Chain A
């Protein structure tokens, strides 16, 4: 999780990832951020996030993204 939080902070140092719960719904992360983040996650954790999972349910908080990574790792 620490490595993941570092990736988030490097991507958007201005965002409070510990507390934000509507990263996508509130437009805090835009599509460029999401796609960049997916590339970073792919490289760091060796999971591919499918297009259909790129929705607010999975990207509204750091915790939700982390859970998505865990789920995809288990499925993979």
Chain B
């Protein structure tokens, strides 16, 4: 397996592969800027096979696979791959058609199985309606931008969560910078520790809520809800966003209902994940 060190290297490999094939199927939606970020972080690798080009993003507890392949590709032997491996299928509309168009059906016939389906929700600044008790909750669980000194604690909270993309793991310096940019907020407990972390990626007028985690032992107290609501509000007031969006597990009816009450709505985009190996 070879490390990808630049967006240009990625582009060259894809171009060369596409040149050799009459038709190519892919599940890759990444743009040059995203490839650059992953490459710089050393999180992106490639394995070239005769019929397929497989890119792997290393995450804390899984590997994500993005591929380019011939429609009738003889898929590679995956016995030596680090498991679990996740495959994403992002689409709007007909899922069966999307899976077939991207060639994911072949991977499913080769060992991948359905894992979960995430819906993308969005909320505009105008539509955002925090619950009536949010101020009271904020007093109980004060949410504030985190600081460099929280680095070790936050990394511990993040690690082990397969839904945090590898590119978003920070070095201490990057973490400090992200905190200063208002990308990482947290619930500060009385003893100074962090009870929940809200992570956003503001980009222009849209901010993407990347991740929300509550410390084990503190769940079920409304801390996550408070952090999410305060974090979303901060994207509008502190980060200049007009809109936020985020993924939510379609089976998490409680969260979906909560977000809807805050003015969020499903935007029609779905990410279905397929897995190879067990996800803890």
Contact = CB atoms under 8 A, between A and B. Distances in A.
A and B from one complex: yes
Interface of A: 22, 25-28, 30-32, 34-36, 50-52, 54-55
Contacts, number: 44
Secondary structure of the B contact surface, majority rule:
mixed
B204 A28 contact: yes
B179 interface: no
A22 B31 contact: no
Interface of B: 7-8, 10-11, 14-15, 29-34, 90, 92, 203-208, 269
A32 B32 contact: no
A62 to B, nearest CB: 17
B203 A27 contact: yes
Secondary structure of the A contact surface, majority rule:
loop
Closest 8 CB pairs of A and B: A26-B204, A27-B206, A27-B203, A51-B11, A26-B205, A27-B204, A31-B29, A52-B11
Given A31-B30, A34-B31, A51-B32, 19 more contacts: A26-B203, A26-B204, A27-B203, A27-B204, A27-B205, A27-B206, A27-B207, A27-B208, A28-B204, A28-B205, A30-B206, A31-B34, A32-B90, A32-B92, A32-B269, A50-B11, A51-B14, A54-B31, A55-B32
A27 B203 CA distance: 6
Contacts of B10: 51
A55 B205 contact: no
A52 B203 contact: no
